[in-house]
Chains A and B, each alone.
Chain A
């Protein structure tokens, strides 16, 4: 084991993993985390905490992960390179590890023009691939990027993102290969609605043998309504939602659309499980955490392996 992460233990044992997501509040109220955590506990193996997603100021990922850990869940700290330089990044990783955080997801982050502080300065001292390299160097070589030795090595399970639906499509697998070469242990993908395209991408992943070198967790998000689907399709960077999916939601009465969204999600999970090289799912029930227990149950993913075997 590279880390003491529950997620790593499950993936390395060959079990199909389930990770969830928790968006922190836009304020200092920790009870929001408690409310969300009750739906996630026992239903997922680890919980991603977003790092000021869409560049909107929220409770920090580190603090939220620490709160989740106290509640008996395992947090996966998302970290973007948008807001921190290499000094702050490495410092935060030390602190996160000392607080008991064992998983990190390395990202570049949405541009600040999307958020509530569009006039702010961004950092991007590192990109996401260089961040993966930095965490790996800290863990495996016991050195910071500058080359000095570390006292107390942060043994993190290193994650990265992949978006098979962004362009140029043919480069997406190359970018994944670079992330694996940089040291990624697991990958979480963008939400999948176009399964044909995802299967094509997975084929390219297998052609390069990458599925044997990294654990791929396929991303899914249940759609609550037609409005949400259209918004995500049009406004969320790097999201692809085929018209067939939106038409399927439109095909049922308004009050049945949330249920249909859950059905689509469960069917997607079932199809994803059959794809060679997919080692788990990453379930992002955005501001709809109460649906997590229902989705994992319907998808036949319960019970989850005990975190303290």
Chain B
């Protein structure tokens, strides 16, 4: 899923400073699961904003709404009535959610309440880690199901650099060396021979480097 993290109250207040009526919009998908922008977090942020405004005598009116998916126009339409009542919207969705709301309602400004961090998973309660960099050309079949693009600090394709020590990455002892994980996994699978082959230069054109990406599937188009 997409992992998000809420911006500081201070930064959010600065963004929406000057508006009298603001709609805080939550998203029921990824950011609900990672406890960053679901219904509960919308309620928490909204009361924090109300309290801060009251303290400063700002007269800010906050309304709340949480929809199933902010990256889906079908659900965004449900917001229309509420949007007509406000001066600005504060999205607690990922970057795709913020932009889909902005593209749908061109008459009001939409601000991001979250930083969209990465595609990953929950490792334990309160701990999330990156798993995928959406490079557009998956190589997990040669790396034992562990992604060196997302998980090696240098995105190396041909094994660990000279900074791998005791299973840790040179950048930080809290970061596992992806290539140590790959090595251990392939050893357990008796597939170490896969690491003898030189992995050729990667085609980054299907990654973000190729420009904004678009996927068209004729078989499912209407």
Contacts and interface: CB of A to CB of B under 8 A. Distances in A.
Interface of A: 82, 86, 108-111, 113-114, 122, 124-130, 133-134, 145, 161-163, 166-168, 171, 174-175, 177-178, 181-182, 190, 237-238
Given A133-B198, A163-B162, 17 more contacts: A109-B154, A113-B153, A127-B157, A127-B158, A129-B157, A129-B158, A130-B158, A130-B200, A133-B201, A134-B201, A167-B160, A167-B164, A167-B180, A168-B164, A174-B195, A181-B198, A238-B165
A167 B166 CA distance: 6
Interface in B146-172: 153-167, 170-172
A126 B157 CA distance: 8
Contact of B158 (A167, A175, A237): A175
A237 B198 contact: no
A122 B158 contact: no
Contacts, number: 97
Contacts of B179: 171
Contact of A190 (B160, B162, B171, B177): B162
Contacts of A237: 162-163, 165, 170
B165 A124 contact: no
21 contacts: A111-B154, A127-B154, A127-B155, A129-B158, A130-B201, A133-B198, A133-B200, A163-B162, A166-B160, A166-B161, A168-B180, A168-B183, A171-B160, A171-B179, A171-B183, A175-B158, A175-B160, A178-B158, A178-B159, A237-B170, A238-B161
Q: B160, B179, B196: which has the most chain A beta carbons within 10 Å?
A: B160
Q: Shortest 7 CB-CB distances between A and B: which pairs?
A: A163-B162, A237-B170, A237-B163, A238-B162, A129-B158, A127-B156, A166-B162
A129 B177 CA distance: 18
A111 B163 contact: yes
A166 B179 CA distance: 12
Contact of A86 (B158, B183, B195, B201): B201
A89 to B, nearest CB: 11
B19 interface: no
Nearest to B197: A178
Contacts of A161: 162
B162 A124 contact: no
B204 interface: yes
Contacts of A238: 161-165, 170
A103 B91 CA distance: 54
Contacts of B195: 171, 174
Nearest to B154: A124
A81 B156 CA distance: 10
A11 to B, nearest CB: 22
A175 B195 CA distance: 9
A167 B159 contact: no
Nearest to A118: B171
A125 B203 CA distance: 9
A113 B198 CA distance: 27
Contacts of B200: 130, 133
Nearest to A167: B164
Contact of B159 (A114, A124, A175, A190): A175
B183 A113 contact: no
Contacts of A181: 198
B162 A111 contact: no
Interface string B88-105: 000000000000000000
A122 B154 contact: yes
A40 B29 CA distance: 63
A163 B165 CA distance: 11
Nearest to A190: B162
Nearest to B148: A127
Contacts of B156: 108, 124, 127-128
> Which residue, of B160, B161, B164, B198, has the highest number of chain A Cβ atoms within 10 A?
B161
B201 A126 contact: yes
Given A111-B153, A122-B154, A171 B171 contact: no
Interface string B33-58: 00000000000000000000000000
Candidate in B154, B165, B177 with the most chain A CB atoms within 10 angstroms: B154
A125 B165 contact: no
B201 A111 contact: no
A237 B183 CA distance: 20
Contact of A145 (B157, B160, B201, B204): B201
A146 B165 CA distance: 35
Contacts of B183: 168, 171
B163 A166 contact: yes
Contacts of B164: 166-168, 238
A171 B159 contact: yes
B196 A124 contact: no
Nearest to A80: B154
Contacts of A178: 158-159, 196, 198
